[in-house]
Structure 1
Amino acid sequence: MRAVRAALRVAGIAGIIGGLMDPGCTQARRPVLDVEVMPGVPDADARVARLAASSPWADVRRADESGAVGGRRASARVVLGDPAAVLASLRDRGAALALRAAGEALSIVSVRAPVQAAVGARVDVTAMVTDLPRRHGRVRVRLLDGATGTAVAVAESGDADPLRPAVSIEVPWVPARPGQVRLRAVAEWMGDGQVRSSSPADVDVHVRDIALAVDVLEARPSWGARFARLALDGARRVDVRNETRVAPGLVTGTDLQPRPATSRDVAGITLVGGVDALTTRDVARLKTAVQDRGHTVVLILDEVPGPGPWTSLWPHPLGATRTSGATMVARIGRHAWHVREWIEPRPATDARPLAYFDEGTPVLWGRPIGAGRVVMVTALDAWRWRADEDADFAGGWRALLTSLALDQPSPLSLRAWLGHSGDGQVVGLAVTAAPGVAVDAVEVTPVEAVEGWPASVPLWSGRPGQWRGTAPWPADRRIHLAARARRGGRVVAEDAAVIQVSPPALVAGWPDVVRHQAESGALAAGEAEAPRALSALRAALDAPAGERRYVTRTWWYAAIVITALGLEWILRRLQRER
């Protein structure tokens, strides 16, 4: 028994001395790869497991498993998903390797929409969809309100050609409310649930609740001006007045005196027929409206006009009349005018085409004068073919006038954006009054109370007619703002804006990801090429520092020493020894 006790005592004491003198040994440490799987990618755990199996030289974990692998920090970040989501993540935080998720998935590489739109007027949003499956099928694009997620429009393509790399889909949308509207486009492959929908793609459109004040002046009876006026009958938010001079001293219609001032967003447009019969007084009044008040004058030609006062509105010489035996199609927005007779004005440095025939010949021209613009319609007989089956004479005129109205500045324009200052993130505000709008004071207020915001945002004046201000960064929500300009205590102009706090969804394709990674000196590959990409990543990574390990500082070593000394003490007590 004494020998056993001695052996236990020697083992315990040797263990203590060994723990004090243990130099330790260096053990190689494997790198840790943090894999972040983007939302919308199915079987995320299985994909991470496949990456781990193809890289036995590293410890692979999902990005949200930060406690794994001994709590060690990642040696490299790997992002896996569809192109748009991957690029958005890379812009926030770089990654050594970007992997495109395997499987069929659509991508939206561009979304185009007008910068401005009018309430109640159709807008065409065009989405370019790529990465189509190599088989016949149809693509559907849904437009959602980016704030509420509710669907606002949908359109489908025809049967997609398996050999086509992309398809362009136009989605018609009619804005229902003014302000900054964020549209979110999502592309879906119809009839096959195995094809993933695209990542969302956002586009912002500023919608104006604009009204049209249209005056139609026929200096002499003109079929073109008359049918243009009739095309506006029943149009929403269009107030039409007309004056027709049937003969000297004989006038029908209303007196086209200047309209009373209003705080609403109203665009002034004058349609002029029989331009060669305009008087000097007519031209002076029209030029004043264009130059000083930013109105638009549309000259509707029915023949090559002779010389007269009208040439101060369009001083450039006109070309000869052109005729065609076949119908020519002019595109006014999405609408077709059928034309067989037109004038080709000679090129001028300050005139530019606004609309074309399908063959590329201009049919509408515009030139700026002061704050406004003069537009010339050179299609002489579009009204004559308005009843043709494929023609939309009335729709063309409504689209044209809406476009011209949106080109006119609002009496008061409010813009809001998210920015930075010395104190952090803020909301920047800019208010601009249009030329000719006399203003004493401007105020910007949230339509609904916002935590941390004053009831009225303080503004300071910069240039004449311009004001700036800042407000605290709001919580994650949309904020409706109203701006009012006052003169003599009366509101003379107003506007509204909507702040969308969250950033818009990125629009991108895989080439954009590859380009971003190349510029950053990082790697990008498809998930199928992951083993080769991981091998390249291994070569690019710095060797992790070795880890020194001490055998005598493990729990099992301590248990052996304590057990040996404890047994020796128990045996001594049993033999009644100290």
Structure 2
Amino acid sequence: MTRASTARAVLRATAILIAFAGLADPVVSINRVPRPAVTIVTAVAGDDAGSRAALAKSIRGDAELTERLPAGVRLPCVRDRPCIVIADGSVEFDLPSDRHAMTSLVRVLPRGGPNVAVSSVEVGARQHSAAAGSIRVHLTGIAVNGRKTDVRVMDGAVVVGSATHAWSADGVVSIDVAWWPIADGVRVLRIEAIAADDEVSTADNGVEAAVTVHGERVRVLFYEPRPSWTSTFVRRALEDDPRFAVESRARLGPLLTAGTPAARLDTAALQSAGVVIVGAPDALGPSEVALLDRYVRVRGGTLLLLPDRAPAGAASSLFPGIWTEHLTAVAEEVGPLKATEILRRSNTEVTDVVLGASSGMPAIVMSPAGNGRVLVSGAMDAWRHRGTNGNGFDRFFRGVLAELGQPRGELTIDMPASLVTAGSTVPFQVRSRRMQPAATETILATVLCGGGATGTVRVWPTGEPGGYAGEFPAATVGTCRLDVSVADGPSSSAGVAVVTAPRRDRAAALLSLERLAVATGGVAVVAGEEQQVGDRIRAQERPAAARTVVRPMQSPWWILPFAICLAGEWWLRRRDGLR
């Protein structure tokens, strides 16, 4: 047998074997470890093919990859499968609270420069229409040394605030921008850093925030068991401010008091007071101390103590911590105030907020107490020096009390965000605070969105005394107003702005994804560190090998060697002159 005839026989036999195997269709059982199916979600302004390619390389066939793009606010990760999110913070997802599958984050940062990004903003949810507001803007600058950035606040097409920052080095800076309301209601403010002509990216130059502008006045009750100079001048500062409705009562003798008609230190007056200010608290009696303590701890009110001597008597229980008196010959700065007679606190807790210090020791301290809080001003004779620091005395007490008095009404509504996406669900919490908590309460809640009809909202107890929770749908673009009332009692309202795609600060969006990664056992890395994500995918526990039944001859690829064998055998026969 020649070499050519041998080759023809081998090719013919191989083709026949393939044909018979295909007809027989044998079944083969093998043990196989299934590869995890991993979803890659790309949520960046523009394209980021580099991170996707780096992730594919880091996993190197250890997983089956599926790529998805965000659609709306839902995180497009498969419920029970690992997920990798590539994000720059430009998209804020409505993260599921019940997600347990491993989720990792790859943070994409601006490359090159120059670039200025508004990383986050701090703005109050409520702003009085008769006063200027302040927004703290956090900027991140890359390759901007020696440049200037203009920051402006827009309400629609109107510029309501602006500021300029001169960069001396790259990094993160914070600037305060004053702004002025132009109308009542829920206002959507756009805070933007004006982009330079050669800026790398303008997608991160602005964020939006919603603020409720209102004309409500904070009811402030002054009480002086003994006439107090400090209390007198704080009261005068607030009386000239349209944000406050001031009531006062001073005890001039055992049976003699003076003040406004509605000012009394009793349960009814304390129930409606947003802030209570006590001058000369050392002269308080035991019954007055008990009433104020109940106002703070049960009613959830704010109490400001303005002492003019060291704590003594029954009022000592109202002072958090240990306070000692110090006298100086020259007035010292105590935060924004100046004083020579100073109370200093020797110990503070983690939950305390220090607003002013003297010689490194806390002197103006706010401390939580029960449902409320107590603010002690240790600058006892600051009223003497109120004209030496540019009217800082008046500005300090007006600003602090305007902030502290806002959320302390009898009925308060808390929402996690004042700017929401159309089609989302808005959760809220209601707190009913009373000096004498009722055994039962009837809470009525309604919501009005846009020009639609008013709808009733169901609320349910949270387990906390006087606490209730609920949610309502924000279906259409515009504003939604939630009205809550207690039957035969107080009422309150709150609003949210509903937009198609809110531009929130990127830091908050990335932080929520980072928390999800930590909670689910994933990792949060920056672009360029994708190998760590691949290592975490490989390190997770794999399922046990499973017996898999396969039919190898059903693969369409067998047609290729079958055709090659037939064609080769035919060509050899033709070459040798055979049929």
Q: TM-score under structure 1 normalisation?
A: 0.61
Aligned to 2:446: 445
SS at match of 2:146: coil
- Residues 355-366 of structure 1 mapped to structure 2, 5 A cutoff: 355-357=355-357, 360-366=360-366
| 1:486-513 CA-partner distances (Å, limit 9, x unpaired) | 22xxx6222223153545434159x99x
- 2:334 pairs, out of 330, 337, 343, with 330
SS at match of 1:373: strand
Aligned to 1:155: 163
Change (3 A) 1:493 1:354: farther
Instruction: Judge which range, 358-367 or 104-113, deviates more.
Output: 358-367
Q: Is the 8 A contact 2:274 2:301 kept in 1?
A: yes
Change (3 A) 1:447 1:260: farther
- Residues 481-520 of structure 1 mapped to structure 2, 5 A cutoff: 481-487=482-488, 492-500=490-498, 502-508=501-507
Query: What CA distance in whole angstroms lies between the structure 1 residues aligned with 2:327 and 2:190?
Result: 45
| 1:328-354 CA-partner distances (Å, limit 9, x unpaired) | 2233xxxx2122331213326698343
Aligned to 1:385: 385
Aligned to 1:312: 317
Query: What CA distance in whole angstroms lies between the structure 2 residues aligned with 1:466 and 1:213?
Result: 23
Query: What CA distance in whole angstroms lies between the structure 1 residues aligned with 2:394 and 2:221?
Result: 17
Aligned to 1:244: 250
- Residues 171-320 of structure 1 mapped to structure 2, 5 A cutoff: 171-174=177-180, 183-189=189-195, 192=197, 197=202, 199=204, 200-203=206-209, 211-254=217-260, 256-257=263-264, 267-305=273-311, 307-314=312-319, 317-320=322-325
- Residue 225 of structure 1 and its aligned partner are, at CA, apart by 1.4
- Residue 304 of structure 1 and its aligned partner are, at CA, apart by 2.6
Q: Does 1:321 align with 2:333?
A: no
| 1:373-401 CA-partner distances (Å, limit 9, x unpaired) | 33322112211111114451111111222
Aligned to 1:342: 342
- 2:121 pairs, out of 111, 123, 126, with 111
Q: Does 1:480 align with 2:484?
A: no
Aligned to 1:129: 139
Aligned to 1:21: none
CA RMSD of aligned residues (A): 5.4
Aligned to 1:167: 173
Query: What CA distance in whole angstroms lies between the structure 2 residues aligned with 1:297 and 1:98?
Result: 46
SS at match of 1:170: strand
- Residue 124 of structure 1 and its aligned partner are, at CA, apart by 3.0
Query: Aligned AA for 1:375?
Result: L
Q: Between Structure 1 and Structure 2, whose CA radius of gyration is higher?
A: 1
Change (3 A) 1:317 1:486: same
Change (3 A) 1:302 1:412: closer
SS at match of 2:399: helix
Q: How many residues were matched structurally?
A: 452
Query: What CA distance in whole angstroms lies between the structure 1 residues aligned with 2:337 and 2:362?
Result: 13
Q: Is the 8 A contact 2:322 2:347 kept in 1?
A: no
Change (3 A) 1:167 1:455: closer
SS at match of 2:490: strand
| 1:92-130 CA-partner distances (Å, limit 9, x unpaired) | x99999795666332223323356655545443222222
SS at match of 2:456: coil
Q: Is the 8 A contact 1:211 1:266 kept in 2?
A: no
Q: Is the 8 A contact 1:324 1:341 kept in 2?
A: no
Query: Aligned AA for 1:223?
Result: W
- Residue 206 of structure 1 and its aligned partner are, at CA, apart by 6.8
**Structure 2: gaps of 5 or more residues:** 1-41, 51-67, 70-84, 97-102, 529-555, 561-579
Aligned to 1:76: none
Query: What CA distance in whole angstroms lies between the structure 2 residues aligned with 1:245 and 1:522?
Result: 63
- Residue 178 of structure 1 and its aligned partner are, at CA, apart by 7.3
